[in-house]
Amino acid sequence: MTTFSSRTQNTSKLDEDPAFAMHRGGKLHVTSSVDVSDHEGLSLAYTPGVARVCDAIAETPDLVETYTWKSNLVAVVTDGTAVLGLGNIGPEASLPVMEGKSLLFKQFGDVDSVPIALNCTGVDEIVETVVRMSPSFGGINLEDIAAPRCFEIEAKLRERLDIPVFHDDQHGTAIVTVAALHNAARLTGRTLADLRVVVSGAGAAGVAVTKMLIDGGIGDIAVADSKGMIYDGREGLTPVKQELASISNKAGIQGSIESALNGADVFVGLSAGEVPESVVATMAENAIVFAMANPNPEVHPDVARKYASVVATGRSDFPNQINNVLAFPGVFRGAFDVQATDITENMKLAAAKALAELVGDDLSADYVIPSSFDERVVPAVSAAVAAQARQDGVARR
């Protein structure tokens, strides 16, 4: 039996690691936004004053946006089945990541959020749970839910809720990837329409990046899963992959990803696979390599730079980090600023365009996407998202 003292000794040992030391007690706490230091403050914040506010909201429900924190509050929801590069580690083990997501929401977008790790994995269970708790929140950020369930969960929630629902693993990744690829193409004297792209990975991020690049006007794009290239007519495709096959791979490329990369302009890695140096060498002149697997990119940047004009990864210790924090705080900030009821495809494209434009004339091989700490990012992205929400008719103010 483990005693309290032995647990204390064990955790003290863990605290020698700075990561554990930072996480002790969690990374979040709730603070009051009003002063309740005397009887008057207490009577206004709670009874009897709070009753007047409750009555007003009961009579005019929209007042909840003004007189509670709902209008600036996101639920960060996971089931712990696809956590970072760790996989299905369960809801408890996912909490440090969800706390981290909430920390980033606040630090970068001044958006409040609550980490919610659910002890269920069924599509309908998750949907019903989120729908039932939705009156407390102004938006839902789905996080680290395994494909293909994540697609169905998001679609069903968007049908049933009138608040923004955003699966960051899909759309955050797509926004930043599209922005960086737009600038990489510009640096090499091309546009998205000139590029032939090969994507490794048909999970949440791979599907979303592919769809968004198609919406953004990519020349051609083909996706590979663990069985090879996805094409229309391939047997055994899931509904999600069948849809992907119907809108991508216009050239009808079959076989391995290695053969597809021969002459390709762009490689986008969103899987755990590896691409040999000899295969990267077969890509087109002025190739672009986005190897975003973490912690080990599909192609090491030092290898990719031998053949590619632009290289990006998901890591912070190399240039051009494709980091979702460049997207989700600004997206929700903009959506909340206009009380948007949805996050449309046009809003995501607007976010990508705003992000790309921040690079401006400083564009270089090591600078196709802004830093996560660039203070211009959230204002630019949120303004673009809010303006597009108004154009798309999903803004309530």
**Residues tagged active-site:** 46, 101
User: Which residues have a Cβ under 8 Å from the Cβ of 343 and sit 6 or more positions away?
Assistant: 164, 165, 166, 171, 331, 335, 385
Compute the half-sphere exposure of residue 219: CA atoms within 13 Å on the CB side of its CA.
16
Phi, psi at 201, each rounded to 5°: 120, 125
Assign 396 to helix, strand or coil.
coil
Q: Which residues pair with 393 in a beta bridge?
A: none
Assign 311 to helix, strand or coil.
strand
Phi, psi at 121, each rounded to 5°: -130, -5
Sheet holding 139-142, edge to edge: 112-117, 73-78, 139-142, 165-167
Rounded to whole angstroms, how far apart are CA atoms 106 and 24? 19
Q: Are strands 287-291 and 73-78 parallel, antiparallel or unpaired?
A: unpaired
Question: How far is residue 82 CA from its own chain's centroid?
Answer: 13
Residue keyed to tokens 């009753």: 51
Rounded to whole angstroms, how far apart are CA atoms 179 and 183? 7
For 289: left if phi > 0, alpha if psi spans -120 to 50, otherwise beta; the answer is beta
Yes or no: say if 113 and 76 are a contact pair by the CB < 8 Å rule: yes
The candidate with the shortest Cα–Cα distance to 78, out of 156, 163, 177, 169, is 169
Q: Say whether the peptide bond before residue 148 is cis (omega within 30 degrees of 0).
A: yes
Sheet holding 287-291, edge to edge: 228-229, 220-225, 196-200, 266-269, 287-291, 308-313
Rounded to whole angstroms, how far apart are CA atoms 119 and 92? 9
Rounded to whole angstroms, how far apart are CA atoms 80 and 116? 10
